[in-house]
A and B are shown apart, each in its own frame.
Chain A
Amino acid sequence: MGDRPDLDLLQGTLDMLILKVLAREPLHGYAIAQEIGRISRALLQVPQGSLYPALHRLENRGLLSAAWTETDTGRAAKVYRLTRQGRARLEREVADWRRLSEAIQLILQTE
């Protein structure tokens, strides 16, 4: 109940990670989780399941589209891909982060 603020912080980051991972190629949920785990190394300790609400939310907002396809293991999986809107959002978020981190960099250097 008391974990709302953390979640908010996490949500933003998680959303960006998902968009970033899917920018390269369409993937199903488990593969996305694997990718995120690889990229963020152990920095982002989230239960893997919390990925799914985020995926559904992004899909609902039209940033992702999803389709059920057969995977290489021969089982049906829901594969997500970035929409044009999602790509634009990712670019904007990345740009925002760049600006922010540059600003933080500057602040740290002025010491």
Chain B
Amino acid sequence: MGWLSRLIRRNRLERELDAELAHHVSEDARRLVAEGAPPGEARRRALARFGGIEPIKEQARDARGTRWIDDLSRDVRHAFRMMRRSPVFTLAAVVSLAIGIGANAAIFSVSDALMMRRLNVTRPDELYFLNRDGYTSPNYRFSFPGYARMQAALPDIPFAAAGSSTRVQLDRENGSELAIGQLVTGNWFENLGVKAAAGRVMTADDAPGLGAQRVAVLSHDFWTREFGADPRAVGSSVRVNGIALTIIGVTAEGFTGLEVGSPVDLWAPVTLQDDLRLRGNASTDDDDDSKPWITRDGVKWLTIVARVPASVPVGSGAARIRGFWQHEIEHDASTIQDAARRDFRLREHVELVAGARGLSDLRERFSEPLVILMITVAAVLLIACANLASLLLARSTARGREFALRLSLGAGRGRVVRQLLAESLTLACLGGAAGIGLAILGGHALLAMASSGTRAIPLDLPVDWRLVGFTAAVTIVTGMLFGLAPAFRASRPSLTDPLKAGGRVVAAERSSGPFGFGKILIAVQVALSFALLVGALLFLRTFDNLVSADTGFDRSAVLIARFDPMLSGVTEAQLPDLYRRLLDRARQIPGVTSAALALTGPATRSARVSAILVDKEPMRVGNESEAREEYATPDFFKSIGAPLLRGRTFSADDDARRPKVAVVNEMFAKHFFGDRDPIGHHLGYGPADVEIVGVVRDVRVDGPKNVVPAMVYYPLAQNPGEYARNLFARVTGPIAPAEAALRGAVLDANRNLAVQEVTTLGDLNERLVSSDRLISRLTGIFGLLAVGVACLGLYGTVAYSVVRRTNEIGVRMALGATRGGVGWLVLRETLALVIAGGVLGVVIVWPLLTYLSSLLYGVSPHDPIALSAAAAGLVAAGALAGAIPAWRASRVDPLTALRAD
């Protein structure tokens, strides 16, 4: 750190340098006096022999090696002086940079959190998830007995398992609320290396077998949010899904489970699955899922995590795990009679998936939108760069005299370049600092916008060295990008012209001159903003098409209230009474014309899929046999507005005493019966014993972009074990009061039902396209911003050129040009720039648009409406930007213009 101490001693070194040089001169003068020269004359000669003191001091400072620091601080101070001199420019520059850099940093922080961040556990790189590969999509579900057998067979590899995180209902003094719970094996925390922040975490002893300890562990976030981080919470009891659990501890801060973007609030032992009545997310083959799941080999519901320690080579660990399951699968397949189904089962093989970054279905959902947004914000930053470069270029030409003066006084060219770069980097750093602030706000806004629910996506976005490093890198690159060209331009002006003439001469615009390069910069900005505008319009139309697409159900007039009677401890025997009360209360609401209950409902992201066979046909293989199941009350179709096509729907008479009936959708009819009429045929699970009585129109249950699955609707009354979780009410008249009344009706029917939400089917449907909404909104915002910035740049450059050409305009007017002619001259130039930029934009964007096809819906990537609207918008904005300078040019008074300067 030699230079640092030299820097600190700088003042002393300066004094020493002065003393040393003074000593030399006085010694020389003394000698000359000794040789007979008069003292004054001697000193003069000594100084002359010495040479110029100041340049020598400069060189000596150079030699000292701290020069760059001195220069830097001087340059930065100079930069701040220049900024103070033009506060409007500085503000505009810093704001546009802050937006550009901040938007990039915001997208970075979200992508980093979602895609890159490693789990907050001990040595995350040792963790692997087990995937049942060989099917169309990844399958992470295993049965508890299978898990236990594997752990026994491979004792040197520690495994742990967890069910998927599901909603649980917590009953506390001040009411019921919903939280996210997860069932885990006793060694879960131990294996992941997660410690307790208070109390203790669960151990294998807490889950020895069925009817085990009724304990729970809270996440640090949940403990803080709901219990105010009260240490007394540990040891207290909390009612979860109707049974009392003792809170034994709180996990260390920062651990929220292994699924990114879906944090767990509370963990309980897997052995409590049946007691807690948690029956979500399992795949069941030929087994009874009403029995406790940990005893069932056919109920697959656990995600298994393996910790392959460094002492076990990953390859051999994976091979042994695969080998174990291969044996299991073959044994299982040998019991299947049907050859095709046996072959299908044998397709499965278990693979390890790296677990360091956890699992997340958000990743897949948002990887494409994030790429689109990254490109968009990068383009916005580029536009801001080009914009600043053109403004600085104009300014550096205006400062030509200053630089010519400095160059002719002996400043090196590098020195001038460095000073200008310091100015642009200082601007960039101010923009970057503000950008970090914007990134924090923007990151959270992004998570809120991207959410498909009412709450923002719960991702932690820390301000860490990764975000700061990224922002700093972007800032420096940005500063260089917009600073270099003007700096080099400015460092080689003709030395004499600006000094001599001071702009008095009517200089012809050189094509290679600053305005030529400035024109290119403007055209680039226009081209980029055209591209962004086209993209934004395409996404806008896509989103518009998506929300207005026919979904097969009525979206605006149907309310849905969501709850789960199973979680509030309602028994099967109490269900019919609860249903009756719910429907009665709902129908009493003014404006409600019909009400119904259903298990899943459309657009709720929940579904039940089963393998189904029809008539006497053999069971089809794999996905071919699958259909969605829905259980509903008779008015369901009427309530959601799904029309009956053939046959009949259920009636109140279809109860437990009558033969079983079902209604299917068009897709089911086509898939299982082809051209035949399905009515009168049968479907079922063992023997096909349910008669199909009607066909309803297809409903897009998974959103407008996804194909409609084959669906079967059963009457709730014939399936008494099913818990309806959704209440639908069709409303005429205003929605808002009915919405509040429906929430009240549910609570009125049963105080203990925690209502997850009440909303419209339209809202649910829109959430299914939340990533499209995100793209559409953000590209729209950034597209408009880009056009705004480009127009500002256009305005600035044209306005500046008008000022510069005041003399020329004066001459033209003196020679007889009309005001309109002069105005048109300027406007024409502006429009020529816009059109050139637009053409450039079309050339750039045309081949790239094809890549958007997969993200668009109901609109061609080369949609003529979007393209022409973008073009028209740009020309209009360009004309507006050019109109003011054009008007000002037409106001030039020839006499003043010629006398000016």
- The B1-54 residues at the A interface (CB cut-off 8 A) are 16-17, 19-21, 23-24, 27-28, 30, 49-53
State how many angstroms separate the Cβ of A69 from the closest Cβ of chain B: 12
Chain A's closest residue to B62 (CB) is A53
Q: Which of B24, B50, B59 contacts A53 (CB 8 A)?
A: B59
Q: Which of A1, A30, A50, A60 contacts B410 (CB 8 A)?
A: A1
State how many angstroms separate the Cβ of A7 from the closest Cβ of chain B: 10
Q: Is A52 an interface residue (CB 8 A)?
A: yes
Q: Is A33 an interface residue (CB 8 A)?
A: yes
Q: Is B63 an interface residue (CB 8 A)?
A: yes
- The A46-70 residues at the B interface (CB cut-off 8 A) are 47-50, 52-54, 56-57, 60, 68
**Are B410 and A52 in contact (CB-based, < 8 A)?**
no
Chain B residues with CB under 8 Å of A26's CB are: none
Q: Is A21 an interface residue (CB 8 A)?
A: no
**Are B51 and A78 in contact (CB-based, < 8 A)?**
no
Given contacts A1-B412, A49-B52, A50-B56, contact A56 B63 (CB under 8 A): yes
Chain A's closest residue to B26 (CB) is A75
**Are A29 and B20 in contact (CB-based, < 8 A)?**
yes
Q: Is A87 an interface residue (CB 8 A)?
A: no
State how many angstroms separate the Cβ of A56 from the closest Cβ of chain B: 4
Given contacts A50-B51, A56-B64, A57-B63, contact A30 B56 (CB under 8 A): no
Chain B residues with CB under 8 Å of A54's CB are: 63
**Are A28 and B50 in contact (CB-based, < 8 A)?**
no
State how many angstroms separate the Cβ of A48 from the closest Cβ of chain B: 5
Bound Cα distance A47, B65 (Å): 23
Q: Is B60 an interface residue (CB 8 A)?
A: yes
8 residue pairs from A and B, CB less than 8 Å apart: A29-B20, A33-B24, A49-B50, A49-B51, A49-B53, A56-B63, A56-B64, A60-B63
**Are A78 and B56 in contact (CB-based, < 8 A)?**
no
**Are B60 and A56 in contact (CB-based, < 8 A)?**
yes
Chain B's closest residue to A28 (CB) is B23
**Are B49 and A53 in contact (CB-based, < 8 A)?**
no
**Are B51 and A48 in contact (CB-based, < 8 A)?**
yes
Chain B's closest residue to A53 (CB) is B59
- The A15-57 residues at the B interface (CB cut-off 8 A) are 28-30, 33, 47-50, 52-54, 56-57
**Are B20 and A78 in contact (CB-based, < 8 A)?**
yes
Given contacts A1-B410, A47-B51, contact A53 B60 (CB under 8 A): yes
Chain A residues with CB under 8 Å of B19's CB are: 76, 78
Q: Which of B27, B49, B56 contacts A52 (CB 8 A)?
A: B56
**Are B23 and A30 in contact (CB-based, < 8 A)?**
yes
Chain A residues with CB under 8 Å of B63's CB are: 53-54, 56-57, 60
**Are B23 and A29 in contact (CB-based, < 8 A)?**
yes
**Are B27 and A30 in contact (CB-based, < 8 A)?**
yes
Interface on chain A toward B: helix, strand, loop, or mixed SS?
helix
State how many angstroms separate the Cβ of A94 from the closest Cβ of chain B: 23
State how many angstroms separate the Cβ of B136 from the closest Cβ of chain A: 70
State how many angstroms separate the Cβ of A55 from the closest Cβ of chain B: 8
**Are B21 and A78 in contact (CB-based, < 8 A)?**
no
State how many angstroms separate the Cβ of B414 from the closest Cβ of chain A: 11
Chain B residues with CB under 8 Å of A29's CB are: 20, 23-24
Chain B residues with CB under 8 Å of A48's CB are: 24, 28, 49-51
**Are B23 and A78 in contact (CB-based, < 8 A)?**
yes
How many residues on chain A are close to B (CB under 8 Å)? Answer: 21
**Are A77 and B50 in contact (CB-based, < 8 A)?**
no
Bound Cα distance A28, B27 (Å): 11
Chain A residues with CB under 8 Å of B64's CB are: 56, 60
Interface on chain B toward A: helix, strand, loop, or mixed SS?
helix
Q: Counting chain B CB atoms within 10 Å of each CB, which of A48, A75, A77 scores highest? A: A48
Q: Name the interface size band of chain B.
A: 20 to 34
Q: Which of B27, B59, B65 contacts A50 (CB 8 A)?
A: B59
A-B contact count (CB 8 A): 64
Q: Which of A28, A49, A68 contacts B56 (CB 8 A)?
A: A49
Chain A residues with CB under 8 Å of B28's CB are: 30, 48
State how many angstroms separate the Cβ of A12 from the closest Cβ of chain B: 15
State how many angstroms separate the Cβ of B271 from the closest Cβ of chain A: 73
Chain A residues with CB under 8 Å of B412's CB are: 1
Bound Cα distance A64, B27 (Å): 22
State how many angstroms separate the Cβ of B412 from the closest Cβ of chain A: 7
Chain B residues with CB under 8 Å of A50's CB are: 51, 56, 59
8 A-B pairs with the lowest CB-CB distances in the bound complex, closest first: A47-B51, A53-B59, A57-B63, A49-B51, A56-B63, A30-B27, A49-B56, A49-B50
Chain B's closest residue to A54 (CB) is B63
Bound Cα distance A68, B21 (Å): 13
State how many angstroms separate the Cβ of B14 from the closest Cβ of chain A: 12
Chain B's closest residue to A62 (CB) is B2
13 extra A-B contacts, CB within 8 A, seeds A47-B56, A52-B20: A47-B52, A49-B50, A52-B56, A52-B59, A53-B59, A53-B60, A56-B60, A57-B63, A60-B64, A68-B16, A75-B23, A77-B20, A78-B23
**Are B27 and A53 in contact (CB-based, < 8 A)?**
no
The interface bits of chain A over 66-93 (1 if a CB of B lies within 8 angstroms of the residue's CB, else 0) are 0010000101111000000000000000
State how many angstroms separate the Cβ of A80 from the closest Cβ of chain B: 10
Chain B residues with CB under 8 Å of A30's CB are: 23-24, 27-28
Bound Cα distance A54, B17 (Å): 13
Chain A residues with CB under 8 Å of B62's CB are: 53
Chain A residues with CB under 8 Å of B65's CB are: 60
Chain B's closest residue to A51 (CB) is B24
State how many angstroms separate the Cβ of A100 from the closest Cβ of chain B: 26
Bound Cα distance A33, B19 (Å): 16
Bound Cα distance A60, B24 (Å): 20
**Are A78 and B59 in contact (CB-based, < 8 A)?**
no
Chain A residues with CB under 8 Å of B410's CB are: 1
Bound Cα distance A57, B65 (Å): 8
Chain A's closest residue to B410 (CB) is A1
Bound Cα distance A96, B11 (Å): 39
Bound Cα distance A33, B27 (Å): 11
State how many angstroms separate the Cβ of A28 from the closest Cβ of chain B: 7
Bound Cα distance A56, B60 (Å): 6
Given contacts A30-B28, A78-B16, contact A47 B60 (CB under 8 A): no
**Are B50 and A47 in contact (CB-based, < 8 A)?**
yes
Chain B's closest residue to A31 (CB) is B27
Chain A residues with CB under 8 Å of B53's CB are: 49
State how many angstroms separate the Cβ of A2 from the closest Cβ of chain B: 12
Chain B's closest residue to A58 (CB) is B63
Bound Cα distance A77, B19 (Å): 8
State how many angstroms separate the Cβ of B642 from the closest Cβ of chain A: 85
**Are A77 and B23 in contact (CB-based, < 8 A)?**
yes
**Are B21 and A49 in contact (CB-based, < 8 A)?**
yes
State how many angstroms separate the Cβ of B450 from the closest Cβ of chain A: 56
Q: Counting chain B CB atoms within 10 Å of each CB, which of A49, A53, A54, A57 scores highest? A: A49
The interface bits of chain B over 396-414 (1 if a CB of A lies within 8 angstroms of the residue's CB, else 0) are 0000000000000010100
Bound Cα distance A60, B21 (Å): 18
State how many angstroms separate the Cβ of A19 from the closest Cβ of chain B: 15
Chain A's closest residue to B407 (CB) is A1
State how many angstroms separate the Cβ of A41 from the closest Cβ of chain B: 16
Chain B residues with CB under 8 Å of A57's CB are: 63
**Are A52 and B21 in contact (CB-based, < 8 A)?**
yes
State how many angstroms separate the Cβ of A13 from the closest Cβ of chain B: 17
Chain A's closest residue to B55 (CB) is A49
Chain B residues with CB under 8 Å of A52's CB are: 17, 20-21, 24, 56, 59-60
State how many angstroms separate the Cβ of A1 from the closest Cβ of chain B: 7
Q: Counting chain A CB atoms within 10 Å of each CB, which of B19, B53, B63 scores highest? A: B63
State how many angstroms separate the Cβ of A39 from the closest Cβ of chain B: 17
Chain B residues with CB under 8 Å of A73's CB are: 27, 30
State how many angstroms separate the Cβ of A36 from the closest Cβ of chain B: 13
State how many angstroms separate the Cβ of A49 from the closest Cβ of chain B: 4
Chain A residues with CB under 8 Å of B60's CB are: 52-53, 56
State how many angstroms separate the Cβ of A51 from the closest Cβ of chain B: 8
**Are A53 and B23 in contact (CB-based, < 8 A)?**
no
